[in-house]
């Protein structure tokens, strides 16, 4: 099973530009796609953690990348992730660049994050897409784990500062291209985002400040996330269903 996380991906960009996104398009045609209407705050550390622990934010207790001035580490989160369970059960599993913490988390993969794990500039974001894809291909070609989870964060970071600008669609194309390189390696594929994005003033939930030292924040997180699945017969309506789906598929319950 190949799970590709695309932080902040939204149908509001994908659908109007679908002809520029051939790999999203093909996967949507070969599988099925829907919107996940989050019943939790559209906040990356919480949602990615929920997605791979099967726990609500109240249960896993992880709410922010930084707490009391300290960067939160994996060991600060008192919860087991799906890769922990799979690994213990002898199911080969790897995870790459999963952004519930910063730098993003890797399991059974040796990967040096781009720009310390928080790429901000356009060239750093491009490098992240390239480096993550390169490492993902290395894993898929050489190791072929039963379960491989890989995540791209560039669209989220770009959306914060460049929502509504043409460069954002250019980056959706880059992510589409990257996904296209990974798809041939598995017949069971899940592409999912942790939340969507929208104009700043249109956000139903405020998660970001209006300004930062970098300038104006152009958009904010939206509770509608994307889901595309191919040959995965699970019902996934919330992020925690991803954990349950993988667990049921490989651990039987």
| Residues engaged in binding another protein (CB under 8 A) | 64-66, 71, 102-103, 115-120, 157, 160-161, 208-209, 212-214, 217
Residue 65 beta carbon to another protein: minimum distance, rounded to whole angstroms:
6
Nearer to another protein, 27 or 101 (CB): 101
Residue 110 beta carbon to another protein: minimum distance, rounded to whole angstroms:
14
Nearer to another protein, 5 or 99 (CB): 99
Nearer to another protein, 89 or 120 (CB): 120
> In the chain, where does DSSP find H-type helix?
11-14, 22-30, 44-53, 57-60, 82-88, 122-142, 154-162, 166-182, 240-251
Nearer to another protein, 120 or 248 (CB): 120
Residue 88 beta carbon to another protein: minimum distance, rounded to whole angstroms:
24
Rounded CA separation 104/98 (Å): 5
Residue 157 beta carbon to another protein: minimum distance, rounded to whole angstroms:
6
Nearer to another protein, 6 or 21 (CB): 6
Nearer to another protein, 94 or 160 (CB): 160
Antiparallel, parallel or unpaired: β 70-71 and 66-67:
antiparallel
What letter would DSSP give residue 202? G
User: C-alpha dihedral over 64, 211, 9, 241, to 10 degrees?
Assistant: 30
- Residue among 48, 141, 59, 235 nearest 249 (CA): 235
Rounded CA separation 25/32 (Å): 11
Residue 235 beta carbon to another protein: minimum distance, rounded to whole angstroms:
31
Rounded CA separation 120/8 (Å): 15
Nearer to another protein, 84 or 124 (CB): 124
Residue 156 beta carbon to another protein: minimum distance, rounded to whole angstroms:
8
CA angle 23, 27, 31 (to 5 degrees): 175
Instruction: Tell me how crowded residue 224 is: count the other CB atoms within 10 A of its CB.
Output: 18
Residue 17 beta carbon to another protein: minimum distance, rounded to whole angstroms:
23
Q: Is 225 strand, coil or helix?
A: strand
């Amino acid at each position: 099973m190949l799970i590709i996380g695309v932080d902040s991906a939204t149908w509001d960009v994908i659908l109007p530009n679908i002809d520029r996104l051939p790999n999203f398009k093909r996967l949507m045609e070969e599988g099925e796609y829907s919107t996940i209407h989050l019943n939790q705050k559209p906040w990356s550390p919480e949602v990615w953690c929920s997605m791979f622990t099967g726990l609500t934010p109240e249960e896993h207790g992880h709410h922010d990348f930084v707490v009391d001035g300290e960067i939160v580490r994996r060991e600060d989160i008192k919860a087991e992730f799906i890769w922990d369970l799979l690994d213990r059960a002898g199911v080969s599993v790897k995870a790459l660049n999963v952004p519930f913490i910063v730098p993003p988390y890797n399991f059974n993969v040796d990967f040096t994050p781009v720009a310390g794990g928080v790429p901000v500039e356009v060239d750093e974001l491009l490098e992240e897409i390239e480096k993550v894809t390169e490492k993902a291909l290395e894993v898929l070609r050489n190791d072929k784990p039963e379960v491989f989870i890989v995540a791209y964060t560039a669209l989220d970071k770009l959306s914060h500062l460049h929502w509504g600008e043409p460069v954002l669609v250019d980056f959706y194309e880059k992510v589409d291209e990257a996904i296209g390189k990974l798809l041939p390696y598995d017949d069971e594929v899940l592409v999912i985002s942790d939340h969507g994005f929208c104009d700043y003033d249109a956000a139903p939930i405020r998660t970001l400040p209006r300004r930062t030292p970098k300038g104006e924040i152009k958009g904010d997180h939206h509770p509608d996330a994307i889901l595309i699945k191919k040959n995965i017969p699970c019902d996934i309506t919330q992020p925690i269903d991803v954990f349950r789906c993988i667990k049921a598929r490989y651990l039987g319950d």
